[in-house]
Amino acid sequence: MRQQIKQGRNARRRFLRDLTRFGAAATAGTLLALPAWAQGARIRLGLMLPYSGTYAQLGTAIENGLRMALDEGRGRLGGREVEFFKVDDESEPSKATDNANRLITRDKVDVLIGSVHSGVAMGMLKVARESGTLMIIPNAGADAATGPLCTANVFRTSFSNWQPVHPLGRVMFEKGHRKAVFITWKYAAGEESLTSFKEGFTAAGGTVVKELFLPFPNVEFQALLTEIASIKPDAVACFFAGGGAVKFVKDYAAAGLKDKIPLYGSGFLTEGVLAAQGDAAEGLMTTLHYADSLDTPRNKAFRNAYAKMFKAEPDVYAVQGYDTGLLLRQALDRVGGDIGNRKAVVAAMESAVIDSPRGQWKMSKAHNPVQDIYLRRVEKGDNKVIGVAWKALEDPARGCKLG
Ligand code: BEZ
């Protein structure tokens, strides 16, 4: 799918501005000698996001957030108009490298942006590393992307899978839970969330007594819920997101477990899905780098503007898309739109300070946000912040040699 946006002034004004910037005395001949960026060619953004399947809503929220940030910058990056090239990645890792290669070779994108699913992001990362294309990950938490496979041209504006759940083990231990079951989908995001949770819970003194998996994006939870009931742990922790999170939370309550065995999760469990989960979600506690109810003027302004623009409530995915736009704006304004000046663009992204609705954050040396992780509880259909579970949490970036 291909979509163009022209959000700037008319071509004549652009032409005159470029003449001014690169020397008012430029003749038609010298203008032809200018590089494409200096002639005001559009910046080409390649979006690889899920627009179908269990993560479809997440992909749309990311794109909305990104468009909103660009809109606030009058639709320009470093003075240049923007053109979008979109692919529905279907959260299907086996198609990721072909899709990414197509965006680079056919559509000649300047930046690859994606994806939601860790497996898809790993395929994109492979292509970005081989081709040297600038890539921004607006969700997928695959630890390796800002760990052993970190690289100068790849940045993340969201989180590593290690980050949101790392404080959860300590939180649950402090609430008196000693034996926990962890349940999730069997793919990188679920497995890495489990590893991180186990690290934190074990360090606090707890034990993960059982690890339960089902294939992504399967939602046949019944047999595993029966197993949880028979194990009778003190609590259950989980990673689920999108449509799967709706079904899991409802099935957990319908199985009669909600009032017997407290359910916790990384905050994706209740992001963007509270209306669909209804009463089944009330009281659930989660940890995440954002919460709707963050009581800051920045968050309130963002939420109002988003609701006005899209007639929908924003969630963490919208925030991550928005921050992707802020990062691009900041970096390209700094280099005057010269996206080909890779060294300068990377340096600008590395030193960016993002004034995000989630709170201000900066990039770690491994190109991943250093950010606060909030403890939230669902109250009357809202993710209410009840504290900061971990201040300025930085992913350990094990194996990353950057910086
Ligand atoms: C992931 O695959 O990395 C992921 C997907 C949805 C929410 C959070 C992480």
Is 35 a residue whose pLDDT tops 90?
Answer: no
Contact 2, 85 (CB under 8 A): yes
Closest protein CA for atom 3 of ligand 1: 140
Ligand 1 centroid vs 32 CA: distance in angstroms? 45
Question: Residue 36: what pLDDT?
Answer: 59
pLDDT value, residue 403: 86
At residue 363 the predicted structure's pLDDT band, cuts being 50, 70 and 90, is very high
Q: What is the mean pLDDT of residues 245-254?
A: 98
Q: What is the mean pLDDT of residues 229-242?
A: 98
Three-class secondary structure of residue 354 per DSSP: strand
Atom in ligand 1 nearest the alpha carbon of residue 116: 5
pLDDT band for 34, please (50, 70, 90 cuts). low
- Tokens 């470029």 correspond to 18
pLDDT tens-digit profile of 40-81? Answer: 799 999 999 999 999 999 999 999 999 999 999 999 999 999
Is the pLDDT at 377 greater than 90, yes or no?
yes
Nearest CA residue ID for atom 2, ligand 1: 117
Q: How far is CA 78 from the centre of its chain?
A: 23
Pocket test for ligand 1, best of 161, 193, 240 (most atoms within 8 A of CB): 161
Beta bridge partners of 266: 287
Shortest-distance Cα residue to atom 7 of ligand 1? 241
Q: Record the tokens describing residue 295, joined without a space.
A: 């009581």
Tell me, using a 6 A CB cutoff, whether residue 390 lines ligand 1: no
- Ligand 1 geometric centre to CA of 115 (Å): 9
CB 221 within 8 A of CB 243: no
Structure-block tokens of residue 115: 């994806």
Confidence of residue 37 (pLDDT cuts 50, 70, 90): low
Distance 161 CA to ligand 1 centre (A): 8
The answer, yes or no, to whether any atom of ligand 1 lies below 6 A from the CB of 189, is yes
pLDDT digits (tens, 9 = 90+) for 173-225: 999 999 999 999 999 999 999 999 999 999 999 999 999 999 999 999 999 99
Q: Is residue 78 within 6 Å of ligand 1 at its C-beta? A: no
pLDDT at 2: 42
Residue type, 395: D
Q: Is the CB of 137 under 6 A from ligand 1?
A: no
Question: Given a cut of 50, is residue 6 above it in pLDDT?
Answer: no
Share above pLDDT 70 across residues of the chain, in percent, rounded to a whole number: 90
Three-state DSSP at 358 gives coil
Residue 10's pLDDT band, with cuts at 50, 70 and 90, is: very low
What pLDDT is stored for residue 38 in this prediction? 62
Q: What is the pLDDT of residue 7?
A: 35
Q: How far is the CA of 280 from the centre of ligand 1 (A)?
A: 22
State percent of the chain over pLDDT 90.
90
- Please tell me the distance between residue 224's alpha carbon and the centre of ligand 1 in angstroms: 21
The pLDDT-based confidence of 13 (bands split at 50, 70, 90) is very low
Kindly state the average pLDDT of the residues 226-255: 98
Q: What is the pLDDT of residue 243?
A: 97
What average pLDDT does the structure give for the chain?
92
241 Cβ closer than 6 Å to some ligand 1 atom: yes
Query: Which of 48, 62, 89, 118 has most ligand 1 atoms within 8 Å of its beta carbon, as the pocket-test mutant?
Result: 118
The residue to mutate among 91, 117, 120, having the most atoms of ligand 1 within 8 angstroms of its beta carbon, is 117
From the CA of 58, give the closest atom in ligand 1: 6
pLDDT tens profile 343-361: 999 999 999 999 999 999 9
Mean pLDDT along residues 87-109: 98
Compute the Cα dihedral for 265, 267, 269, 275 and give only its sign: positive
Cis ω for the linkage preceding 351 (within 30 of 0): no
Kind of pairing between the strands at 179-185 and 43-49: unpaired
CB-ligand 1 contact for 268 (6 Å cutoff): yes
Say if residue 164's pLDDT is above 80.
Answer: yes
Ligand 1 atom showing the smallest separation from residue 142 Cα: 3
Residue nearest to atom 5 of ligand 1 (CA): 117
Per-residue pLDDT band at 14 (split at 50, 70, 90):
very low
Letter for the amino acid at 306?
Y
